[in-house]
Chain A
Amino acid sequence: MRRKPFPWHITVFLAPAALIYTVFMIYPMIASLDFSLYQTVEGGKQVFVGLGNYIRLLTDPLWSHSFWNAFRNNVVFFLIHMTLQNPIGLLLAALLATNIRGAWVYRTIIFTPTILSVVLIGFAWKLILSPTWGIWFPLLDKLGLGNNEIAIALLGNEKSALITLALISVWQNIGIPMMLFLAALIRIPTELIEAAQVDGASGWRIFWRIQFPLIIPTVGIVAILTFIGNFNAFDLIYATQGALAGPNFSTDIMGTFFFRTFFGFQLRPGDPNMGATVAGMMLLIILTGVIIYLYGWQRRMEEVQF
């Protein structure tokens, strides 16, 4: 029997992509995790400390205070997206799916902020909410909130800055859940909906009894995409509040905490080992979310469907 020749063409097709991906994505990720197990001592020597950096990050007050603060803020940031961005995105998609005239115009407009850089969006909103520009102030006056300290400086106040930034992010990113929900709604066979209409079901009932149950897989996809995006966010906070995520670190999230730890800030020099440790924690958080999604949510979905 003749041996098959080595499949060179498969190698040629796969190698360039696999090489770039391995060298610039997988290898740095592993190198970064490895790096988080070391500490730099005097003279620049690397000393293996095992999980010492992770223990330090979680328990040493010098680190743990900032870490838990960033983590808590990130959870709040994520919850605001889950309770506002995704339901409103679903509502907009449901309205667009009613075969309304000009749906593509609305769809195109609502998606526009999503394609713009976070830096520009963040800064534009910063100007609009600024007390020096006469937009936000007169509006507050009309609402009778002209003397409300928090409302006057939404981004300059510890109580409101994080929530305001989350709302700006919701405003910008709502196009993504809207599109994904819309795609799922359009895939539902029209006969199903027409049959229910003939039976006299209201639009509200049709939505909850027929459309929503059929797009539940998309709800899961949107949730996990939001989770990954939020726990990896950085640009908006950095562009509007700077690397110090002010006021008083009240808008610090994992991404900005990672940046500061890695590069240093003010008098504190950057610590690449601890930076890698923070990135390792972020990876752990994101992987936990992905695993819960894959095994907890998607598997249950399959049981329900088949």
Chain B
Amino acid sequence: MTGKRYRWLRALKTGGVHAALIAYSALVLFPILLVFMNSFKDQMSIFGEPLKPPTPATFSIEGYKTLFDVANFGHYFVNSLIVTVVSLLLIVYLGAMAGWALAEYEFKLNTFMAIYLALGIMVPIRLGTVGILRLLAGWHLVNTLTALILVYTAMGLPLSIFILSRFFTQLPPDFKDAARIDGASEYRIFTLVLPLVRPALGTVAAISMIPVWNDLWFPLILAPSERTKTIVLGAQVFLGQFLNDWQAVLAALSLAMIPAVLLYMIFSKQLIRGLTAGAVK
């Protein structure tokens, strides 16, 4: 085979790979862009020309207006934000403390605690819903954001502890030993090593964020009141009620997607690193 022919064959192969990936990317983007595009059109053109982008003649934000008049999306968004941010802080910091304890100290129950805390990685917390609801009802925490935060923290901790303890194990010992010789307390050492694993903290936050932000199950069961609805539950209820107002439905879908897409753009690096780090056996 001559070099020239070989190069030609390679270009053909590369072209084929690009074609396949572009085709699949189109399949991914089509539904999302379709919804987004049509949310800015009037009812007539949504049905008449669904595949055409909005023009000055067909542009309309009537759907978004209905949305703001009827449903309290701003409030739902704030609820989602509070629940997600507080849960993530607890997942990351309490997870780091526990992960540090398991990685750094030898004590009798170390292995037992490591296995006990890892159980939650494999067993979905939803299966304890009956118990969770009875417990929270007893404490009068149903229909509070606190309930969601506590449950999501418990849900996220196992993976957080597992990943972070592995990162702490990989830290070089010299630094910690030097600090100990200088007489630093164990608590002080923890605050000194925490910045060293900052990329890992970001990673844990990124992979823990998706299931918390997007969950429907626990808001539906633990906090369905108007005051405590998250954006996913709010969108779900709204979509069910406004089934025939397509402008409003498309606007609701688009609006609910935007925060997640923005978060994804900001955190995609950490997220991808987290997924790939978590995959190591």
| Any B CB within 8 A of the CB of A84 | no
B163 vs chain A, min Cβ distance (A): 13
Say which one of B61-69, B169-177, B252-260 lies at the interface with A.
B252-260
* Chain B residues with CB below 8 A from A96, complex form: 21
Q: Report yes or no: B21 in contact with A100, Cβ–Cβ below 8 A.
A: yes
B94 vs chain A, min Cβ distance (A): 4
Q: Which of A98, A117, A121 has the largest number of chain B CB atoms within 10 A?
A: A117
Q: Using an 8 Å CB-CB cutoff, how does the interface string of A1-17 with B read, 1 for contact, 0 for none?
A: 00000010110111011
Q: Using an 8 Å CB-CB cutoff, how does the interface string of B247-267 with A read, 1 for contact, 0 for none?
A: 001100100110011011000
B151 vs chain A, min Cβ distance (A): 5
Q: Report yes or no: B17 in contact with A100, Cβ–Cβ below 8 A.
A: yes
Q: Report yes or no: B276 in contact with A183, Cβ–Cβ below 8 A.
A: yes
Q: Using an 8 Å CB-CB cutoff, how does the interface string of B192-227 with A read, 1 for contact, 0 for none?
A: 000000000000000000100111110011000000
| Any A CB within 8 A of the CB of B128 | yes
Q: How far is the CA of A258 from the CA of B220 in the complex (A)?
A: 14
Q: Indicate whether A17 sits within 8 Å of B161 (C-beta atoms), given known contacts A28-B128, A232-B126, A283-B123.
A: yes
Q: How far is the CA of A262 from the CA of B246 in the complex (A)?
A: 33
Q: Report yes or no: B124 in contact with A32, Cβ–Cβ below 8 A.
A: no
* Chain B residues with CB below 8 A from A275, complex form: 129-130
* Chain B residues with CB below 8 A from A186, complex form: 276
A residues 164-220 near B (Cβ < 8 Å) are: 171, 176, 179-180, 182-184, 186, 203, 217-218
B40 vs chain A, min Cβ distance (A): 15
A27-B135, A100-B18, A135-B50 given. 17 additional CB < 8 A pairs?
A13-B97, A14-B101, A21-B158, A25-B125, A107-B272, A111-B268, A115-B210, A116-B260, A118-B214, A121-B31, A124-B253, A179-B275, A180-B275, A180-B276, A232-B124, A238-B220, A286-B123
21 contacts between A and B (CB under 8 A): A10-B107, A18-B116, A20-B153, A24-B151, A26-B119, A28-B128, A28-B134, A29-B123, A29-B128, A92-B24, A109-B29, A112-B32, A116-B214, A124-B35, A179-B276, A180-B276, A180-B279, A234-B216, A234-B217, A262-B129, A272-B134
Binding site for A on B (CB under 8 A): 13-14, 17-18, 20-22, 24-25, 27-29, 31-32, 34-35, 46-48, 50-51, 90, 94-95, 97-98, 100-102, 105, 107, 113, 116-117, 119-120, 122-132, 134-135, 150-151, 153-155, 157-158, 161, 185-187, 190, 210, 213-217, 220-221, 232, 235-236, 239, 246, 249-250, 253, 256-257, 260-261, 263-264, 268, 271-272, 275-276, 279, 281
